[in-house]
Amino acid sequence: MRLFAAAYPPRAAREHLVHALAEVRALTGTTLRWGDPEQWHVTLGFYGEQPEGAVPDLAEHLQEVARGFPPLRVGLHGAGSFSGTTLWIGLGGDTAALADLMHGCSLNPEERSRQRAHLTVARTSRTERTRQAKERRRGSRVRAHSGPELAHVVHALSVYEGPEWTLGEIRLVSSVLGEGRSGGALHTDMDRYVLTGA
């Protein structure tokens, strides 16, 4: 099974972001494939494919991490893109403590140096990726941010400031690709671990 540790923004934070995205979504047409707000999460540690027997060890690890951190105050803040194909919203607030929490949840030392707290909200559509590939084959220059639409969205959302909330738990989540709404991943909570700072 495919597993990761995550924190989920509360409904009020997601609804605030949905409202902020409404206008820019209208500008992108079919260039971007937007994620399901119910599935939006901050990945704290990604474990990939794991056998069922790995779940107890991961649970013990995350329980220990959760005991080492008090609840954090965070909020969605700013935007960016990865590789010109993925639109993300960043986080503000207790970012140093959040980075430490992510490092604690990660099992891979190489992943720790690459982690950036973010919420993925959209990816370039298959149609857009096909268009880019055709341009590359013809020797045309492909814009760095997959066309003006993504660049415009990132610019428009760079000043986004969502409401703060208390990040008070870590969730261990299983993910089944292609089983969710609109062909996305289906996420199922395996367990939750409350941040106690004890």
- At 45-92, the pLDDT tens digits run 999 999 988 899 999 999 999 999 999 999 999 999 887 788 999 999
Digit-coded pLDDT (tens) for 157-187: 999 999 999 999 999 999 877 665 656 667 8
Catalytic positions are: 41, 118
Residues 55, 61, 67, 71: what is their CA dihedral angle, to the nearest 10 degrees?
A: -70
Query: Which residues, other chains included, contact 34 with Cβ-Cβ below 8 Å and sequence gap of 6+?
Result: 21, 25, 121, 122
CATH number corresponding to 2-194:
3.90.1140.10
Contacts 24+ apart (CB under 8 A), 63-68: 63/193, 65/101, 65/104, 65/105, 65/170, 65/193, 66/169, 66/170, 66/193, 66/194, 66/195, 66/196, 67/196, 67/197, 67/198, 68/104, 68/197
Q: What is the pTM of this model?
A: 0.83
Per domain, the residue ranges of the chain are: 2-194
